[in-house]
Amino acid sequence: MENFAKYARQIALDGFGEDGQRKLAASKVALIGVGGVGSAALPLLAGAGFGEIALADFDRVSEHNLHRQTIYRADSGGLPKAELAAQYACALNPDVRVEFFDGKLTSENAGEVLGGALLCIDATDTFESRGEVSRICAGRGLNLIAATAAGFVSQNFFFGDGFYFDAVADISDSAHLPRGLPIFPPAAHLSGVWAASAAIKYAVYGDYEVGRFSMFDAKSAKFFSANIS
């Protein structure tokens, strides 16, 4: 039985209750990428009490990551992000079972990473990786939130039910697109917070609108949201 006192403030939310907490505890979410966006989503997913979280990332921590990837420390340089992120999540909430994969999500490991997942959050940072995650989730019929950020702009795309990333962007020849774009740290974090919020609401309330696109420009303080499906 869950320690419901631990989650008292969210259980008190309208329509949440102990049943909602049990739904979270029985749910798995997959988080692909634990950089700036992923490191904002992960504490909320773990803290809320998802029963299982699968993490995948091939990267190592670099000094230039630390201004936005706030689950890592100054002495984490060169260490694998997936493993460190898993340690962070387990320390934050021992109720959660965390599996980590020190590598990219591929068609070969998709069954292990995504098997049993209610939802996948793509927090990777290139069109190439987003395209691959989208293709894999489409093949499995798995709902996918693509959580992205660049410059001052945060974005969330809700995919599923046959509507995936290739419907909104040409990702067939994306390897040449620029990498390492400038990033405002709060923009990355807002994107991750949005995605975590959507994942928790989906697990508890069943809310999920395929085709929903939301964007916020932190520099101009302008928000936009529409269904683009």
pLDDT for the residue numbered 169: 84
pLDDT in tens, 142-162: 999 999 999 999 999 999 999
The Cα 194–Cα 149 span in angstroms is 12
Contact (CB, 8 A) for 122 and 131: no
The Cα 219–Cα 131 span in angstroms is 28
Between these two residues, 173 and 99, which has the higher pLDDT value? 99
Question: What are the distances in angstroms from CA 38 to CA 65, 71, 94, 112?
Answer: 12, 10, 19, 19
pLDDT in tens, 6-30: 999 999 999 999 999 999 999 999 9
pLDDT in tens, 29-79: 999 999 999 999 999 999 999 999 999 999 999 999 999 999 999 999 999
Q: Taking the model in full, what pTM does it have? A: 0.95
The Cα 150–Cα 76 span in angstroms is 24
Q: Is the pLDDT of residue 1 over 60?
A: no
